[in-house]
Amino acid sequence: MMMKTKLEIIEETVNHYTTERNSRAMDGLECVYNAEDGSHCAIGRCFKDSYRNEGHEFKFNQDTDTGDLDNELGGLDSFLSEEYKGHDSAFWGNLQSLHDRNRYWNNDFELSIGGNEYVEKLKKENL
């Protein structure tokens, strides 16, 4: 399986939440990797099936950022499916910011003006 480029992951993430109309994974006002309703955050949707299938019981589900995951045994890549491995935690943190910040979304399925600007910034930084 080919590793996805950063640009492919950015576009896939935007498509996941807009065109495919998948809900952002939120627990109240807080982002979680795996929400109780079965949705996943920008990184959580890229996890290996075993971690996604843990659902809300995932050990690091709340109050854990990408840097924290990267400091775990095996690093961030140990949580990701094969096609998503090989990218630095800063990239994943920036992608997660797109998911987490409500100002980037008009609702669960539509990027705000600021969200579109942030996506374009991410794309330029990761060409």
Q: Which pLDDT does position 18 carry in this prediction?
A: 93
Question: How confident is the model at residue 24, as a pLDDT?
Answer: 87
CB burial of 87-115 (b: ≥16 within 10 Å; e: otherwise) equals bebebbbbbbbbbbeeebbeeeeebeeeb
Model confidence band, residue 9 (pLDDT cutoffs 50, 70, 90): very high
pLDDT, residue 22, reads: 87
Residue among 2, 24, 7 nearest 94 (CA) = 7
Confidence of residue 73 (pLDDT cuts 50, 70, 90): confident
Kindly tell me the burial class for residue 23, based on how many C-beta atoms sit within 10 Å of its own C-beta (0-12, 13-18, 19 or more). Answer: middle
pTM of the model: 0.92
Average pLDDT in the 102-108 region? 88
CB 93 within 8 A of CB 67: yes
C-alpha span between 3 and 49 (Å, rounded): 17
Provide the pLDDT for residue 82.
96
How confident is the model at residue 75, as a pLDDT? 92
Task: Name the residue type at position 9.
Answer: I
How far apart (Å, rounded) are the C-alpha atoms in residues 66 and 63? 10
pLDDT in tens, 16-70: 999 988 888 888 878 899 999 999 999 999 999 999 999 989 999 988 888 889 9
